[in-house]
Amino acid sequence: MIERAPAQSPRADMVRNRHLLLTAATEAFAEGGVDVSMGEIAQRAGVAKGTVFRHFPSKDDLLAAITLRLLDGLVGTAERLLKADDAGAALREFMTAGVETLTADRAFCEVIGRPSLQHAEVRAEIARLCDTVEALTARAREQGAVRGDITGTDVVLLLGGIHQTAAPVLDQQPQAWRRYLELAFDGLFATGARALPHHPPAGLHLTDPRQSARPAGGSPPSPARRRQEVTTTKGHTD
C-alpha cells in the first residue's frame, strides 16, 4: 500500500500563497517600481490572479505589506546597533544599510505619498523607526560623535535624500550613492560647524511632495495651463 502525504490544510495553503506573493511582489516592485501589474505578480508567484486579490484587495494593500517588511528590517538594524559601544560607527552603519535598502528597491521611494502609507500599521512602523533612530542618534550626540543639533528625523530624511541625489546615475554607477553618503557624513560629523536653521518636526508625517503643486481638491495643472499661466505672468511683469 502506497502511503500518501497528508494534504496541506487550507490555512497552511493560505500562508504559503501569501509568502509566495510577498516574495514575488517584493522582487517585482524592486525591479520595476510600483507600476508592475498584479497579473505579473501572480505569474511570478505561480498563483491565479484571483489569489492575489483574496490576500490583497488592492495594490496599495500589497505595497503596504511590503513596506512593512522593509521598515521592520530597518528597525531591526537600528535596534541591534543601539547595543554597539561606538555610537558614531553604529549611526554610520545604520545609514549605510538604510540607503542601500532604498537603492536596491525602486518601489520603496515611489510609495511615499501613496494611500498605502495611510495604513495604520505602516504609520505605526514609521513612528517606531523614527523613535529608534532618534535613540541611535541621541547616543551618538552624547558621545560627541555627531554635531549636537542633529536629530533622528534628520537622519531618516537624509536616507531618502541621499538616494534621490544619486538616482539619476545609479543605472551607470550603482555605487554612486556612497559618494553622497560620505558627503552627508561630513555634515553630520562636522566639528565647529555653524548651527543649523530651523528644526525638523517631532514626528515624521510623510506626504507626496507633488501635492503641494496641486490646487486644493483638484488635479495637477496641465502643461498647456502651466504655459498659459507663465505667459500671463510675463505679460503682467514686462
Q: Which residue has the cell 555605487?
A: 175
Q: Which amino acid is at 62?
A: L
**How confident is residue 133, by pLDDT bands cut at 50, 70 and 90?**
very high
Q: Please give the backbone phi and psi of residue 147, each rounded to the nearest 5 degrees, phi first.
A: -60, 155
C-alpha cell at 151: 536629530
* pLDDT of 140 above 90: yes
Contact between residue 51 and residue 42 where contact means Cβ atoms under 8 Å apart: yes
Which of 189, 194, 171, 169 shows the shortest CA–CA distance to 179?
169
Give the tens place of pLDDT for each residue, 192-229. 777 777 666 666 555 544 444 443 444 444 434 444 44
| 83 alpha carbon, distance to own chain's centre | 24
In terms of Cα–Cα distance, which of 126, 128, 136 is closest to 188? 136
pLDDT above 90 coverage of the chain, percent:
42
pTM for the full model? 0.72
Chain segment 149-199, per-residue pLDDT in tens: 999 999 999 998 998 898 889 889 999 999 999 999 999 987 777 777 766
